[in-house]
Amino acid sequence: MGNIKLIKTEDGSHSLYNEELNETYHSQHGAYNESNHVFIKNGLKHFYFEHFPQSISILEIGFGTGLNALLTLKELTMLPNVNIKYTTLEPFPLSDEIVNGLNYGSLDMLASYKSQFEKIHQAEWGKMVSITERFSIKKMKMKLQDFESAESYDIVYFDAFAPNKQSEMWEYPVLEKVSLMMGAPSYLVTYCAKGQFKRDLASLNMEVETLAGPPGKKEMVRGTKI
């Protein structure tokens, strides 16, 4: 999908730049900080401390660099007595050359998870693979529009490219499809806070919260399905 280049963001962590879309995979203000704020703090941790489940099923729209998956695995060390099943969709997997160039394993906050990061990327596509005792991942090489699942997900990490770059991912029928795969209660979290997107979530009977965004971005959104 276009020419992909490694870039370093302001917090020192790598992201990628897609030349075809003229879009980065993460905020240039900090890939680590953005993912941690949007998906971990306001998604995973919020769900855990609201419900204290024994297991959490996550659906990620946009595996990309694997940073969200790695941060989810990392956070498990702080969340006792819970297992995570992580399903992630990515129609355009990165090349080994790009993956091997990512610097997450050399960052102070992620250095001890380098081997797990490698296992996440080496995991066979289409199969649920155990990375640790409490974290399993299933990577699906397909678009959301082609994905079908009988699973009921507790958290959706909606991490598609921005609406002005990949508008088809933010259309009502696609959001409706995601909503039908969400359990009750469940959360959808994303960096996007556009008005039409929030209205669409509300029309799908979600409670919509506009939250403070990560560094460099004013707002983000969490939709709650009751």
- Looking at the predicted structure, is the pLDDT value of residue 20 above 90? no
Q: What is the pLDDT of residue 2?
A: 58
Q: Which uninterrupted H or E stretch holds 46?
A: helix 46-51
CA distance 55 to 33: 25
Q: What is the DSSP letter of 144?
A: G
Does domain 31-225 match CATH 3.40.50.150? Answer: yes
Q: What is the pLDDT of residue 33?
A: 95
Say whether pLDDT at 1 is over 60. Answer: no
Residue that has been written with the tokens 């993956």 in this structure: 99
**What digits encode the pLDDT tens for the residues 113-170?**
999 999 999 999 999 999 999 999 999 999 999 999 999 999 999 999 989 999 999 9
Q: Which residues contact 150 (CB under 8 A, 6 or more apart)?
A: none
pLDDT at 197: 97
pLDDT value of position 90: 97
Residue 171 · residue 77 · CB < 8 Å: no
| pLDDT at 183 > cutoff 90 | yes
Higher pLDDT, 224 or 21: 224
pLDDT tens digits, 59-76: 999 999 999 999 999 999
DSSP-assigned letter for residue 91: S
Angle between the N-to-C axes of helices 67-75 and 114-122, in degrees from 0 to 180, rounded to the nearest 10: 130
β strands within 113-169, DSSP E: 128-132, 135-140, 153-158
pTM of the entire structure?
0.95
Residue 44: name the closest of 85, 3, 5 by CA.
85
79-90 tens-digit pLDDT: 999 999 999 999
The pLDDT of residue 153: 98
| Tokens 């302001």 found at | 10
Query: How is residue 115 written in tokens?
Result: 């081997």
Tokens 């941690």 map to which residue? Answer: 36
Show the DSSP H helices in 36-161 as ranges. 46-51, 67-75, 96-101, 114-122
CA distance 137 to 69: 8
Q: Report residue 199's pLDDT band, with 50, 70 and 90 as the boundaries.
A: very high
